[in-house]
Amino acid sequence: MKHIALCLPVFALAACSAPSPSGPTPQDAFFTSLSALCGQAFNGRLVSTDEADADFAQQDMVMHVRECSDREIRIPFHVGDDRSRTWVITKQDTGLRLKHDHRHEDGSEDAVTQYGGDTPGEGTATRQNFPVDDFSIALFEREGLTASVTNVWSVEVSAGEFAYELRRENRHFRVAFDTSAPVEAPPAPWGFE
C-alpha cells in the first residue's frame, strides 16, 4: 500500500510535465502564411510547358488574396480580362479544402464550378495537395470532362512565391506568383463586384 501511495505523486508529476504540442500543425502554418498575404495582389507566370496552355502563357496573370477570415481565404485569379476564377481554401474539421468558384461575366455560376478536393493528410507548412473529391468526379463525369476525374491540385506558399498546380496523367499546369513584389489590386472577380 505504501508503494502505491509513493507512485501516485510520481505519476502526477509526470502528467504535469508532459510536453505540450510543439507549435502549429503544418496546415495551420500553411494557412497562416497564406493569410499573411491578405489584401495583396501579385503578378504571375506560367511555369509548366504543356502545349495545351500556349495561349494561356501569353496572358497577363494576377492573383489577389482578396478575402480572409479565420476559416476561409478567397483568391481571385485573373487571366487577361477574364475574371471568372476564384480559388477558395477553407479549414475543415479534417484538414483543408480547395474549391474553384467559376463565374460568368454576369456573375452567374458556370456549369463547371465548386470543384476541388480535401487534403488527404497534414502536408507541409509550404505545400498542400488536394485530390479530386467525389462531388467533383460526379460533376466532371456529368459535363463530359472524364480526363479530370483523377485531378490533384496543389498550392504552395513559400518565401517570395505562391504557386498553384494541377496534375493528372499527361497533364501538368503550374503558375507561380512573385509575392515579394505586390502590385495594384485588380477589379473584383465576376459576381463579387
Q: What CATH number has the domain bearing residue 149? A: 2.40.128
- Beta strands 61-64; 72-79: pairing state: antiparallel
pTM for the whole structure:
0.87
Residue partners of 98: CB distance under 8 A and separation at least 6: 87, 88, 89, 116, 117, 118, 128, 130, 153, 155
Domain interval for residue 95: 39-178
Q: What is the mean pLDDT of the chain?
A: 90
Give the pLDDT of residue 24: 83
The number of domains in the chain is: 1
Give the pLDDT of residue 23: 76
Residue 16 lies in a domain: no
At 97-138, the pLDDT tens digits run 999 999 999 999 999 999 999 999 999 999 999 999 999 999
Residue 24 lies in a domain: no
Residue 192 lies in a domain: no
Residue of 84 and 17 predicted with greater confidence? 84
Q: Residue 13: pLDDT above 70?
A: no
Indicate the helix (H) or strand (E) that contains 141.
helix 134-142
Give the pLDDT of residue 79: 96
Residue 32 lies in a domain: no
- Residue 79, exposed/middle/buried by CB under 10 A (0-12, 13-18, 19+)? middle
At 19-58, the pLDDT tens digits run 445 678 999 999 999 999 999 999 999 999 998 888 888 8
Residue 23 lies in a domain: no
Residue 33 lies in a domain: no
Residue 110 lies in a domain: yes
Q: CA distances (Å), 39 to each of 79, 142, 165, 182, in order?
A: 19, 36, 22, 10
Residue of 18 and 97 predicted with greater confidence? 97
Residue 67 lies in a domain: yes
